[in-house]
Structure 1
């Protein structure tokens, strides 16, 4: 084997190790979120935790998760990311053990620390993901892994592990992938590489803020996530108002379609233009809300929730792709999960303040406003980006002529 081939093989192995290690950080960070019903079941069935507020624990964990996701990309050090990830994985393991031993009054602190560590892990994954050659495809593969793992783990935990070890041990099993990620941590890169681009500096403002186009795309992400979470929270009450038993199957169909959506996005994200695909997906979501507002039967509702589940994970990779292309410095990609998580968590809370929880029509109307706003922000971003690119091109031509 020639020296060039040996170098190429060694480089390929490092890249595989890097992808696996970063993927494990991604799965470990999202694991609690993806199988939260199992976590809730453990609380409900553990006598020591009967009086614990599930809502307070969820708020503590996911609010910390969202805030850290939004801030970590800016404040995490560019070096010693491996050490930072290792500390967060150890916090996962310690907090999981603490959940089985600490008194109920301490559990909010446990979930707060757990959510903070999860946010840092996902942020580190996105920092490395943003530097990959095909970030859209990579995030699609990672998202598919989270979805498949979440579904399998949700089945295995209550049916296999709980009978053997008891409900309280679910907290430890939730950190299984944190333990595996710790083993493979040595393959994770230790520092981030901030991309430099003359075009990006010209398009972006001089005070190092994001250019307007990626900001508008993040607004589109926010409104889309707002829509997604509101519908997710209120889908079951909507289903109960539809005559017949067919609508009750919406969750199973939606989860299966989510897996297919994530998997197919990994196959097609680099083959399909991002803007047309996002536009089509967001417009279909608008039609979904309009159709349900107009009235659907059980089969129609299940069909729309399947489409909703499919698009919810299919479009993520396309958003990453377009953010990567409009912001060569890759800061927007790193901000993506924070914007997504915070706006998603705000949605149901805001809706509950504006309308009664039994006013399904009012909920859907607010959701319709959110999803209509999303493609408008996306299209405005493209107009702004084209104009900015045109200005950069004219500046380049003028510079060339001056020589």
Structure 2
């Protein structure tokens, strides 16, 4: 929601009668009708503080429907609470008054209805703080893009791929290989039919597919000790021990998902091909990594025009087992939910220059942590010199990661 105009009304500048009516603030809600209110307050980190506050709501017969908390950024040793409740106006006024004796920075907020005005969507926010100052903010907003509210909502777009999947472009190495195309269709069908909560189907990879994986795996493993960041090198042996990573075996997504969930709460789910930036980021918000299961064509093991299982499992998965990286990834995903297209583009660009092809410096040496580097022995073999820089954003690498 973009707030483009804010007005603070005091005793010298009161809203007009028309404005009061349209704002439908809590002062205008009839005392015998129930409405939705938000109360914000700060409590010191002491035993019994929250219980005492919640008993105030119980004593006034108010139904709490949602509660959130976070460490206060402005008051050390305190926590900030947001409580959503359904109540009548007179009940909220009573709770507001009582809470001021228990908590600090008590504020009531309520939103008015949304109106259309000159093509824009307008609503209003009213807040009343401890000093009984009334702050009314005009909020002008565009229609918020749809975004998943719960993890099961990821099922609604997981098969909405932009390109590739079972369809290959004419310049794809496997375009003329009918056997390869049928395998791609198999992987696409598995992804299309998968739903959250189901076990991920196990794949019986062909000898040719396993040999392609083994070639890439063998070459990359030689380079990881000297070229990959320390976090990657710490986790990679654990994947070999727990998920069947080896030169002779392509890991199964369910095993990888179970391991990640134990480490950081991340899981993986199959996807047929490239997702849009918005859809892929939305998955990260729920700590879900959309992963392809197909492998690049055997005729071009050093090259893939789209992310494949080598890119996913060798490039991305190891760092999703790192708590700091997992938290960073989820925060990018959360930032994308409901964001306008221009913000999505910025987040995608950030992702490209870091998670896909990022370098870091450790012990005085440049190390790779970007998945595009860690899954390509051709890329890793090129010295990390800054004489040649790529500053071109290529969305194809980002979209499904």
Q: Structure 2 length normalisation: TM-score?
A: 0.22
Structure label with greater radius of gyration: 2
- Please identify which structure carries the higher helix content: 1
- Please identify which structure carries the higher strand content: 2
Q: Structure 1 length normalisation: TM-score?
A: 0.22
